[in-house]
Amino acid sequence: MGLESALGEGYLTTRLDALVGWARKNSLWPMPMGLSCCAIELMSAGDPRHDISRYGMEVMRFSPRQSDVMIVAGTVTYKMAHVVRKIYDQMAEPRWVIAMGACASSGGMFRSYSVVQGIDQFLPVDVFTAGCPPRPENLFNALIELQKKVEKSSVLDYRDRKEPIIV
Amino acid sequence: MSEQSKITQDFFESPVVTSNLPPKEQRTKLLQALLDMDPDISFDDPLENDMVLNMGPSHPATHGVLRILLRLDGETIVSAMPELGYLHRGYEKIAENETYHEFITHTDRLDYLQPVHNNVAYILAVEKLLGLEAPPRAQYIRTMLSELARISSHLVGFGVMAMDVGAMTLLLWCFREREKIHDIFDLVVGARFTTSYARIGGVAQDITDEGLAAIKAFLDQFLARLDEGERLLNRNRIFFDRCRHVGVISAEDALAIGLTGPNLRGSGVAMDLRRDAPYLVYDQLDFNVITESEGDSLARYYVRLAEMKESVKMVRQCMDKLPAGPVHAHEPKKVLPRKERIYTRMEELIHDFMIVNFGVDPPPGEVYHAVESSKGQLGFHIVSRGEGHPWRLKIRSPSFCNLQALPQLLKGHLLSDILAVLGSLDPVMGEADK
Amino acid sequence: MNTTVESVVKELRERFGEGVEEVREFRDDVIVVLHRDALVDAAKYLRDNTDCPFPLCEDVFGIDAYERTKRFEVNYHFFSLDKNVRLHFKVRVDEDDAVVPTLTGVYPSAGWYERETFDMYGITFDKHPDLRRAYMPEDYEYYPLRKDYPLMGVPGDLPLPKRG
């Protein structure tokens, strides 16, 4: 810690990446893209028992302009896919996507003509969450995994995603 | 004319939105300007033009992915047209390709606020087709859990309606109570949310004393908690002013447009299939059919509130009357055998193999069975050709039919009244879009 | 058969004669198979008769009978609040001439049900005020619940946004 001893007490040096990552990580504002059953579990995640605000994420913003992470909760149909994509495009960078539940991740149990078999066909997804629907606990698991990923990401190139996380 | 312009033209010339439209030549001019993407269009009297506003499909207050096209004159709604299909998952097509047992899990996701009730409704239709009846204990358990599911569904309807008109607290309180019901389901069914509990000829597993005690503990405190919420709203001037005389529909209009359930009873029509065409064990229970005469949003809210109390009464009666006995009908070729027997006995192994792979063997025919769900009349029409899977399964989903009344309910109201009306209709898009 | 339903069916037979093609009963569900020309009048009779009025049209939906000579069937459910009985109508139409008169004039609630039937089967309803697709996109060219339409759809029939 050579620099800090030179500057004296009261100073802390760090990498910008670490500082920004830490700040971003603790204020992920979700855009709840509630589509079907998972939306109810997403609402349950905000209820007094599960209390999503423990992770600094209770600020649900229904405007894409104000949010950082889109939680796609539910079955995405072909008709809805264009809307989901449009909302994603409106979000400010940096932005992340959680595919909540089997339907959003892979089409789930709906193997039919109108259901998109996984939103990764038209969106870059950071975390896939298992469950139909996932319990709120598993959603928190996904959020914590996302926080880890956000913390590690670089300021300049936050998109250095290698593999999506599956929880 | 291209396909796109045809659609646009259809919209402008659709008879549904003709009222209060600008004159024909202005419409044509507007349409032409839209088609040519001409931004410099002007009219002689710009104030004559109504504004078309899109609400949804991603909107916090549209209960999912409902999209409403609104024609506005200032802030007044001239006409409204809901647009559905953003959650159309093709249930009916899926059902034609699955056995009767496999489809049970899909019914969970129909009206996802009350999965148990949908399971039971579907199974009752299948049992009617098979000419089979579950033993009394199973029927009582089904009734009990259906009523609990009705409470949990009304809680969301209640909380979300309050949130939409500005009382956020109530939503949190309602979800607190809902979590308790989820805990009961976790204990009794094995899953908190998507239950898949009913089986052909019975239920998945018997209810334990622990489960019964949990239900009793919930009921003992529930009415007091509900009362808290009720006090919060019933003395709230804002809530009253926003809901009273909003979205009024008369009894005749409500029947003509096909409203059912609490929405119809809010208009003063005492129609409740639990009493009118009893299924399960409702004919042995003592309960009142709640009606309100005003037919506005507030009336529909009152009906839901009172129905929760009736449901509590019914669950208590079921618990008192719960008979002992098996929870599966003795029909080896139709009812899935118990797991422990499959592992130890040849007969059951064969039956299990046949039921799982080829399905039950229903007689050819058509049946329709409807139940009173928390949204209205939920019915399943099954066309069987004697195969293991239905030839056609039609779901009569109450939310779809209730939404049809929306244009009528919204006409002439202010933009902000949409939330009060939509909240009081309480549609679930999973069911409306199928 | 329930006596109330029986008298209604008897009355229908008398009034419409050849219009009532068949009456079927299975597990207490009574289905009156009608010729399409008799449908609207029969529905009017159901709604307006005084003995047992059926004010509620619960549902309208199609069935693809596929290999039969008349391919499509349209089913109607009516419920009587006074007597608490249910009656079903059925109309059979040919694939080449899949047109059924609309019931919206008698039961306004049929409007959306018929739209859904049109969306799923391509059965058109004559004089329907607003016959658009109910669920699928408006420019969609197939009718998904027909038996010759595959479960997973036709590849590429519904576009997706680019991933980019």
What ipTM was reported for this prediction?
Answer: 0.91
pLDDT-derived band at B312, boundaries 50, 70, 90:
very high
Residue A21, min C-alpha distance to chain B (Å) = 30
Q: Note whether B317 and B420 are same-domain residues.
A: yes
What is residue B347's predicted lDDT score, i.e. its pLDDT?
A: 87
| Mutation site for B-interface testing, chosen from A72, A79, A113 by largest number of B Cβ within 10 Å | A79
Cα–Cα distance, B100 to B97 (Å, whole number): 10
Is B140 a member of any domain?
A: yes
Establish if A3 belongs to a structural domain.
no
Find the mean pLDDT for residues B106-122: 89
Residue C129 confidence (pLDDT)? 86
- List chain C residues with CB under 8 Å of B255: 55-56, 81
Kindly state whether residue A111 falls inside one of the protein's structural domains. Answer: yes
List CB contacts (< 8 A) between A132 and chain B: 194
CATH number at residue A73: 3.40.50.12280
Number of domains in chain B: 2
Query: Is residue B62 domain-resident?
Result: no
In terms of residue numbers, what domain contains B28?
1-39
Average pLDDT over residues B147-156: 91
Instruction: Say if A80 falls within a structural domain.
Output: yes
Contacts of C161 in chain A (CB under 8 A): 81-82, 85-86, 122
User: Which residue from C26, C57, C84 is facing B258, i.e. has the nearest CB?
Assistant: C57
Closest-CA distance, B236 to chain A, in angstroms, reads 23
d(Cα B322, Cα B314) in Å, to the nearest integer?
Answer: 12
Residue B382's pLDDT is what?
Answer: 92
In chain C, residues with a C-beta closer than 8 Å to the C-beta of A122 are 160-163
Q: Count of domains in chain A? A: 1
The type of residue at A74 is G
Closest CA to B258 of B113, B431, B392, B404: B404
Q: Give residue A124's identity as a one-letter amino acid code.
A: P
CA distance C67 to C69: 7
Q: Are residues B266 and B368 in the same domain?
A: yes
Asked if the model's pLDDT at residue B17 lies above 60, the reply is no
- Structural domains of chain C in order of their starting residue, each with its CATH number: 3-101 (3.30.460.80)
Q: Is residue B35 part of a domain?
A: yes
- Per the domain annotation, does B309 fall within a domain? yes
Within-domain flag for A84: yes
Lowest mean pLDDT among B27-36, B186-195, B378-387: B27-36
Domain that holds residue A161: 15-166
Q: What is the mean pLDDT of residues A136-150?
A: 88
Nearest to A137 by CA among A74, A59, A52: A52
* pLDDT at residue number A13: 67
Residues 6+ apart with CB under 8 A from A60: A29, A30, A31, A32, A46
- Across the range A78-94, mean pLDDT stands at 88
pLDDT value of residue B54: 86
Same domain, B352 and B422: yes
Has residue B360 been placed in a domain?
yes
Which two three-digit tokens encode residue B62? Answer: 């549209």
Closest residue, chain A, to C152 (C-alpha):
A113
**Subunit partners of chain B (3 or more CB pairs within 8 A):** A, C
**pLDDT digits over B184-227, tens only?**
998 888 888 888 888 888 888 888 889 899 999 999 999 998 88
Look at residue B47 and tell me whether its pLDDT is greater than 70.
Answer: no
User: Å from B430 to nearest chain C CA?
Assistant: 12
Q: Is residue A117 situated within a structural domain? A: yes
C158 touches chain A (CB under 8 A): yes
- A5 lies in some domain: no
**Is B80 a member of any domain?**
no
> Is the model's pLDDT at A7 over the cut of 70?
no
- pLDDT, residue B4, reads 59
Same domain for B160 and B31, yes or no, is no
The mean pLDDT value of chain A amounts to 83
DSSP symbols for A70-139? EEEESPPBHHHHHHHHHHHHHSPSS-EEEEEHHHHHH-TT--STTB-S-GGGTS--SEEE-SSSPPHHHH
C156 touches chain A (CB under 8 A): no
Q: In sequence order, which residues have a C-beta less than 8 Å from that of residue A105 and are 6 or more positions away?
A: A99, A118, A119, A120, A125, A128, A129, A130
The answer to whether residues B325 and B135 touch, using CB atoms and an 8 Å cutoff, is: yes
Q: Per this entry, what is the length of chain A? A: 167
User: Does residue A93 fall inside a structural domain?
Assistant: yes
Q: Is residue B215 part of a domain?
A: yes
B66 domain residue, yes or no: no
Per-residue pLDDT of chain C (164 residues; tens, 9 = 90+): 778 888 888 888 888 888 888 888 888 888 989 888 888 888 888 888 888 888 888 889 999 888 778 889 999 999 888 888 888 999 999 888 888 998 888 888 888 999 999 999 989 888 888 888 888 888 888 898 888 888 888 888 888 888 76
Residue A51 lies in a domain: yes
